[in-house]
């Protein structure tokens, strides 16, 4: 194994060396970085040219200059990496260190949501193969697959940001929207749950009517102007989470697991007011860290009270539910911040921005306000990226699950009388996740370089912006810096994916395959 | 003869879905089976017609010169022709609005007609319909070149490395890894920014040079699998040359994978080209592509949305049709693929089984 990894790493470095050498020279011969200065009429042109030549070592021919650059990069092995200087005189290392967090922030959320949503919908479509829901989702995912992101982004800006901001001015839902959304919800849930005709119609009616009622209440109380869950709604949602997680994780018939998950819901309710107080105290970082630790400790130990045997799945259920309930509590807190956030001068009732990564006018200091600010700025780009990338996961997880469901061991599992839930969640889903995991790894690596267009449209200053800037101004060091990071992420992710694959799937052995 | 008939009866008699499906493909060649399956895929067939119609309409609409041949084009304006901006019939303060109308008169619209400028005009008076046609021409052209070039390179590299294995495989696959390291949007931007003026042919060419990696991996996998099968051994024992084995025995069996991934490559290619043009590194002025049109007019969305809608709709239509065709092809080539039986099929099978049983 060690030999295999070291050999792969060796190849990886050779590849990076080769491609960076070619790209360096390609970019170097493609234009003259001094051209703009030569035609300029400023008095100190000669001096500027001289400085730039010295700083960027332009008097050295590109193939040799590459090795000078490489020497700085190889400094990574002695603990001091040097990407050289950008044209502006700033250090490229610094620029990249500033840009990476922005890009990661931009893309991580979208990728995670796309994975979760894509896989869930993919699985449902596979389980309901050839149903209307399957056909509809196939069409939707192909449509999303074919959308250019720059086009979607403009539409989102217009309809999701500007129109939604207008709606918030007077947050009452018009009857057309009410009927439309209720019908949609009815059709959606009826298609997902499905069954015989009577069942489908009753699900359609229940889902439609409850959506309509909920929207009407939200509309009448002008909930969107001052949203929030409050302890009661939070508790009800938590109970829902408890049932849902238990159903997927162990099955409702496992009473101990259900009791543990419901206990978590009760704790969430009991802790509602203490949590509100804790959210407001000084020295926040420490307090929040302690809260997260407490969440895991409590959810890990409380289930021990409910069962003496087979505690693993129960603890898993309890931790997962507690995590989701904690998330709900945070969402509730953010909703409470919504109204004061809208009322600040910096926002003034138009909360969804179409551009930028933070609101510079907002006063710093208020943690929740700034957190919410980051989230609303993430809203549009995340939605755009989500729409684009989610289709791939739907298609892929559907295909994989269908393949797995045709295997003999699934038939065996059914034949020996396991419940459908166990067959799907334990036998089929876990095996579906093997190829999906490797795809996810590669996708995560693509995150850093993958948002060139999105950053440009939404005015974020991350790796994509650096890249655009580097190409536009013939800034070789900057370009190579961006390339090296993305290239390194791409090849190492492939390596990790291969290793992970062989670790997850005992049938595949990375070592023997390479021979 | 009698024995054969009995066999037939038996296959229909077992009445299961397999029997119905097996009977359907009895006596058909692989090609015929694939074709039948594809024709049955409604979305794919619709897409084939849509894309053929689009290509035909788009490429005949404008004036074209190929060597000494000259095509007049059925549309009345050229894409670089400056016309007077139309103001009548437009809302206050807006010029060059579209004249296309699709709501018939009896529904309260102004009748179905194209009018002078069906897609409106851009801000200096170009007819937007011809601009969009021109852009679509460029985009489709790039897509096809990338498909052909990337498909060829990918197939050749994958076939050679999968068939010969050993050091050839190692070298070729490391070379593939090497190309994968460079994201195509980066290489496209670097080359496009500096050589964009060399025209759309060059753009398509170098994008094609970098677009084959995924395909070559798939083809390699397919070849690795197929070369171990008995019919290849049989061919080798019979004295067939490597060349003959590759072209006559393995390639026809791998063609499904190749065709499907080439279609997907093409739908990716049109998005890549439009994205590059949007960033300004692809097709550059004075030429236009669907991406550069969107990039140019995205800010006028609120005042003159048609400048934004049409090129986008064309990109989506083209990419969507190609994706559906790819899906149909995948289903058609997949040997495990079974058609979903309708109630009618099952009824018919039952009736036939009954008749067969009675005639016995």
The CATH number assigned to the domain holding B243 equals 1.10.3720.10
Match 């290509």 to its residue by tokens: B55
Q: Let me know: does A115 contact A442? Beta carbons within 8 Å.
A: no
Instruction: Read off the pLDDT of residues B250-263 as tens digits, 9 standing for 90 and up.
Output: 988 888 888 888 98
pLDDT at B9 over 60: no
With 0-12 / 13-18 / 19 or more C-beta atoms within 10 angstroms meaning exposed / middle / buried, residue A398 is buried
Q: Let me know: does A154 contact A426? Beta carbons within 8 Å.
A: no
Match 């390194």 to its residue by tokens: A488
Q: In which band, very low, low, confident or very high, does the pLDDT at A447 lie, cut at 50, 70 and 90?
A: low
What's residue B110's pLDDT?
64
Which range, of A202-211, A365-374, B61-70, B145-154, averages the lowest pLDDT?
A: B61-70
Q: Which of A130, A138, A472 sits opposite B340 (nearest CB)?
A: A130
Q: Which of B183, B281, B327 sits opposite A486 (nearest CB)?
A: B183
Q: Let me know: does B211 contact B157? Beta carbons within 8 Å.
A: no
Q: Which of B186, B278, B324 sits opposite A453 (nearest CB)?
A: B278
- Residue of A453, A471, A483 for testing the chain B interface, max B β-carbons within 10 Å: A471
Chain A residues touching residue B177 (CB < 8 angstroms): 11, 15, 491, 494
Q: In which band, very low, low, confident or very high, does the pLDDT at A250 lie, cut at 50, 70 and 90?
A: confident
Q: DSSP string covering A122-178, please?
A: HHHHHHTTTSHHHHHHHHHHHHHHT--HHHHHHHHIIIIIIHHHHHHHS----HHHH
What's residue B244's pLDDT?
92
Reported as half-sphere exposure (CB side, CA atoms, 13 A), residue B260 has a value of 17
pLDDT at A203 over 60: yes
pLDDT at A504 over 90: no
C-alpha to C-alpha distance for A443 and A448, rounded to whole angstroms: 10
Q: In which band, very low, low, confident or very high, does the pLDDT at B105 lie, cut at 50, 70 and 90?
A: low
Please enumerate in sequence order all residues whose Cβ is within 8 A of that of A448, keeping only pairs 6 or more positions apart, or say none: A100, A103, A104, A107, A463, A485, A486, A489
- β-pair type (B64-66, B69-71): antiparallel
Residue B71 sits at φ, ψ, to 5 deg, of: -110, 135
- Give me the helices (H) in A30-129, please: 35-39, 45-56, 62-74, 92-127
What's residue B1's pLDDT?
40
C-alpha to C-alpha distance for B117 and B126, rounded to whole angstroms: 10
Q: Which of A146, A150, A158 sits opposite B294 (nearest CB)?
A: A150
Residue A85, beta-bridge partner list: A91
Q: Taking every pair of C-alpha atoms in chain B, what is the biggest distance, in angstroms? A: 85
| Residue B243 lies inside a defined structural domain of this protein | yes
Which range, of A184-193, A463-472, B55-64, B97-106, averages the lowest pLDDT?
A: B97-106
- Residue of B139, B165, B186 for testing the chain A interface, max A β-carbons within 10 Å: B186
**Number of neighbouring beta carbons within 10 Å of residue A248:** 14
State the DSSP code for B341: P
- Tell how far CA A59 is from the center of its chain: 45
Nearest Cα of chain B lies from the Cα of A467 at a distance, in angstroms, of 8
Residue A351 sits at φ, ψ, to 5 deg, of: -75, -30
Q: In which band, very low, low, confident or very high, does the pLDDT at B183 lie, cut at 50, 70 and 90?
A: low
C-alpha to C-alpha distance for A350 and B112, rounded to whole angstroms: 41
- Average pLDDT (A68-85) is 78
Asked if the Cβ–Cβ distance from B178 to A479 is below 8 Å, we say no
Asked if the Cβ–Cβ distance from A146 to B319 is below 8 Å, we say yes
Please enumerate in sequence order all residues whose Cβ is within 8 A of that of A310, keeping only pairs 6 or more positions apart, or say none: none
Q: Let me know: does B274 contact B283? Beta carbons within 8 Å.
A: no
Please enumerate in sequence order all residues whose Cβ is within 8 A of that of B204, keeping only pairs 6 or more positions apart, or say none: B141, B142, B145, B146, B149, B273
Residues 282-341, chain B, touching A (beta carbon < 8 A): 291, 294-295, 298, 301-302, 308, 312, 315-316, 319-320, 323-324, 327, 336, 340
Chain A residues touching residue B178 (CB < 8 angstroms): 15, 18-19
Match 């009452």 to its residue by tokens: A172
Closest of B45, B49, B78 to residue B61, by C-alpha: B78
**Structural domain that includes position B306:** 135-333
Q: Which of A142, A453, A487 sits opposite B181 (nearest CB)?
A: A487
Closest of A1, A9, A2 to residue A495, by C-alpha: A9
For A50, the 3-state DSSP assignment is helix
pLDDT at B337 over 90: no
With 0-12 / 13-18 / 19 or more C-beta atoms within 10 angstroms meaning exposed / middle / buried, residue B127 is buried
C-alpha to C-alpha distance for B135 and B291, rounded to whole angstroms: 8
- Residue of A12, A128, A148, A482 for testing the chain B interface, max B β-carbons within 10 Å: A148
Asked if the Cβ–Cβ distance from B271 to A15 is below 8 Å, we say no
**Number of neighbouring beta carbons within 10 Å of residue A404:** 21
pLDDT at A445 over 50: yes
| Residue B18 lies inside a defined structural domain of this protein | no
3-state SS track over B45-108: HHHHHHHHHHHHHHHHHCCEEECCEEECCCCCCCCCCCCCCCCCCCCCCCCCCCCCECCCHHHC
Closest of B276, B348, B359, B357 to residue B23, by C-alpha: B348
Chain B residues touching residue A468 (CB < 8 angstroms): 189, 279
| Residue B344 lies inside a defined structural domain of this protein | no
**Tokens in use for A215?**
């929207």
| Residue B40 lies inside a defined structural domain of this protein | no
Mean residue pLDDT of chain B comes to: 80
User: Could you tell me if A486 lies within 8 Å of chain B, comparing CB atoms?
Assistant: yes
The whole-model pTM stands at 0.83
pLDDT at A464 over 80: yes
For A105, the 3-state DSSP assignment is helix
Asked if the Cβ–Cβ distance from A145 to B323 is below 8 Å, we say yes
Q: Which of B182, B271, B319 sits opposite A23 (nearest CB)?
A: B182
With 0-12 / 13-18 / 19 or more C-beta atoms within 10 angstroms meaning exposed / middle / buried, residue B293 is buried
> Number of A:B CB contacts under 8 A?
109
pLDDT at A515 over 60: no
C-alpha to C-alpha distance for A218 and A222, rounded to whole angstroms: 6
Please enumerate in sequence order all residues whose Cβ is within 8 A of that of A341, keeping only pairs 6 or more positions apart, or say none: A347, A351, A369, A372, A373
C-alpha to C-alpha distance for A492 and B297, rounded to whole angstroms: 40
**Tokens in use for A408?**
């003999």
- Average pLDDT (B311-334) is 88
Residues 458-477, chain A, touching B (beta carbon < 8 A): 467-468, 471-472
Chain B residues touching residue A15 (CB < 8 angstroms): 174, 177-178, 181
**Tokens in use for A407?**
């295997």
C-alpha to C-alpha distance for B157 and B144, rounded to whole angstroms: 20
Q: In which band, very low, low, confident or very high, does the pLDDT at B335 lie, cut at 50, 70 and 90?
A: low
Name the domain count of chain B.
Answer: 1
- Residue of B178, B191, B264 for testing the chain A interface, max A β-carbons within 10 Å: B178
Q: In which band, very low, low, confident or very high, does the pLDDT at A451 lie, cut at 50, 70 and 90?
A: confident
| C-alpha pair distances (Å), A18 with each of A85, A489, A497 | 22, 16, 22
- Average pLDDT (A32-56) is 75
| Residue B121 lies inside a defined structural domain of this protein | no
C-alpha to C-alpha distance for A117 and A140, rounded to whole angstroms: 14
Q: In which band, very low, low, confident or very high, does the pLDDT at B13 lie, cut at 50, 70 and 90?
A: very low
Q: Is the ipTM of this complex over 0.85?
A: no
Q: Which of A158, A452, A490 sits opposite B181 (nearest CB)?
A: A490
User: Could you tell me if A479 lies within 8 Å of chain B, comparing CB atoms?
Assistant: yes
């Amino acid at each position: 194994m060690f030999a295999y990894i070291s050999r792969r790493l060796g190849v990886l470095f050779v590849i990076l060396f080769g491609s960076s050498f070619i790209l360096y020279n390609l970019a170097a011969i493609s234009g003259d970085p001094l051209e703009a200065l030569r035609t300029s009429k400023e008095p100190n042109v000669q001096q500027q040219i001289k400085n730039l030549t010295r700083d960027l070592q332009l008097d050295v021919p590109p193939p040799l200059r590459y090795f000078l650059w490489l020497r700085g990069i190889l400094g990574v092995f002695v603990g001091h990496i040097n990407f050289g200087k950008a044209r502006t005189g700033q250090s490229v290392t610094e620029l990249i260190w500033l840009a990476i967090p922005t890009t990661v922030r931009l893309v991580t959320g979208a990728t995670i949501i796309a994975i979760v949503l894509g896989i869930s919908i993919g699985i449902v479509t596979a389980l309901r193969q050839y149903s209307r829901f399957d056909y509809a989702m196939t069409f939707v995912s192909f449509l999303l697959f074919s959308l250019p992101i720059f086009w979607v982004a403009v539409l989102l800006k217009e309809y999701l940001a500007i129109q939604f901001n207008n709606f918030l001015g007077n947050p009452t839902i018009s009857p057309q929207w009410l009927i439309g959304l209720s019908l949609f919800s009815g059709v959606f849930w009826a298609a997902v749950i499905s069954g015989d005709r009577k069942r489908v119609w009753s699900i359609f009616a229940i889902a439609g009517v409850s959506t309509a009622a909920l929207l009407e209440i939200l509309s009448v109380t002008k909930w969107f102007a001052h949203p929030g869950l409050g302890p009661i709604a939070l508790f009800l949602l938590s109970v829902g989470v408890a049932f849902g997680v238990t159903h997927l994780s162990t099955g409702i018939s496992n009473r101990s697991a259900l009791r543990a998950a419901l206990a978590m819901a009760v704790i969430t309710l009991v802790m509602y007011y203490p949590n509100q107080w804790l959210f407001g105290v000084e020295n926040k970082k420490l307090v929040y860290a302690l809260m997260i630790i407490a969440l895991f400790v409590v959810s890990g130990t409380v289930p021990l009270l409910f069962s003496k045997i087979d505690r693993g799945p129960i603890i898993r259920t309890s931790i997962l539910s507690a995590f989701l309930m904690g998330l709900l509590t945070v969402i509730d807190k953010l909703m409470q911040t919504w109204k004061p956030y809208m009322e600040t001068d910096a926002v003034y009732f138009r909360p969804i921005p179409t551009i930028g990564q933070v609101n510079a006018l907002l006063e710093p200091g208020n943690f929740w306000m700034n957190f919410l600010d980051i989230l609303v700025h993430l809203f549009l780009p995340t939605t755009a990226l989500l729409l684009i990338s989610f289709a791939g996961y739907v298609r892929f997880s559907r295909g994989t699950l269908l393949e797995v469901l045709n295997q003999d061991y699934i038939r065996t599992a059914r034949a020996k009388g396991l419940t459908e839930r166990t067959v799907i969640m334990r036998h089929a889903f876990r095996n579906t996740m093997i190829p999906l995991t490797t795809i996810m790894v590669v996708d995560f690596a693509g995150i850093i370089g993958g948002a060139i267009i999105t950053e440009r449209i939404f005015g974020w200053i991350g790796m994509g912006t650096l890249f655009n800037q580097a190409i536009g101004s013939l800034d070789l060091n900057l370009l190579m810096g961006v390339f090296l990071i993305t290239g390194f992420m791409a090849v190492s992710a492939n390596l990790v994916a291969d290793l992970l694959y062989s670790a997850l799937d005992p049938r595949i052995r990375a070592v023997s395959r390479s021979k | 003869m009698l024995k054969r008939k009995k066999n037939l009866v038996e296959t229909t008699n077992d009445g299961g879905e397999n029997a119905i499906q097996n009977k359907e493909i009895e006596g058909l060649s692989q090609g015929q089976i694939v074709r039948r399956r594809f024709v049955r895929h409604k979305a794919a067939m619709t897409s084939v017609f849509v894309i053929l119609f689009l290509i035909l309409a788009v490429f005949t609409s404008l004036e074209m010169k190929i060597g000494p041949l000259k095509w007049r084009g059925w549309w009345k304006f050229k894409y670089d022709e400056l016309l007077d901006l139309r103001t009548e019939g437009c809302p206050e303060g807006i010029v060059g609005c579209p004249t296309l109308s699709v709501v018939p008169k009896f529904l309260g619209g102004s009748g179905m007609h194209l009018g002078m400028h069906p897609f409106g005009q851009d801000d200096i008076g170009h007819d937007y319909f011809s601009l969009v046609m021109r852009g679509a021409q460029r985009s489709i052209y790039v897509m096809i070149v990338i498909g052909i070039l990337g498909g060829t390179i990918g197939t050749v590299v994958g076939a050679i490395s999968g068939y010969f294995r050993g050091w050839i495989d190692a070298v070729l696959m490391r070379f593939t890894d090497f190309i994968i390291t460079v994201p195509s949007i980066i290489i496209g931007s670097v080359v496009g920014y500096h050589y964009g003026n060399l025209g759309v042919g060059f753009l398509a060419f170098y994008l094609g040079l970098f677009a084959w990696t995924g395909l070559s991996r798939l083809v390699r996998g397919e070849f690795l699998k197929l070369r171990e099968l008995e019919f290849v051994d049989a061919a080798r024992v019979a004295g067939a040359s490597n060349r003959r084995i590759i072209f006559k025995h393995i390639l026809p069996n791998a063609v499904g994978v190749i065709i499907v991934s080439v279609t997907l490559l093409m739908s990716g290619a049109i998005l890549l080209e439009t994205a590059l043009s949007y960033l300004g590194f692809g097709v550059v002025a004075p030429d236009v592509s669907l991406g550069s049109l969107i990039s140019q007019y995205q800010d006028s969305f609120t005042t003159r949305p048609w400048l934004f809608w049409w090129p986008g709709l064309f990109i989506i239509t083209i990419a969507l049709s190609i994706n559906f065709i790819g899906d149909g092809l995948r289903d058609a080539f997949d040997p495990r693929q079974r058609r979903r039986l309708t109630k009618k099929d099952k009824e018919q099978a039952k009736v036939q089984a009954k008749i067969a049983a009675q005639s016995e």
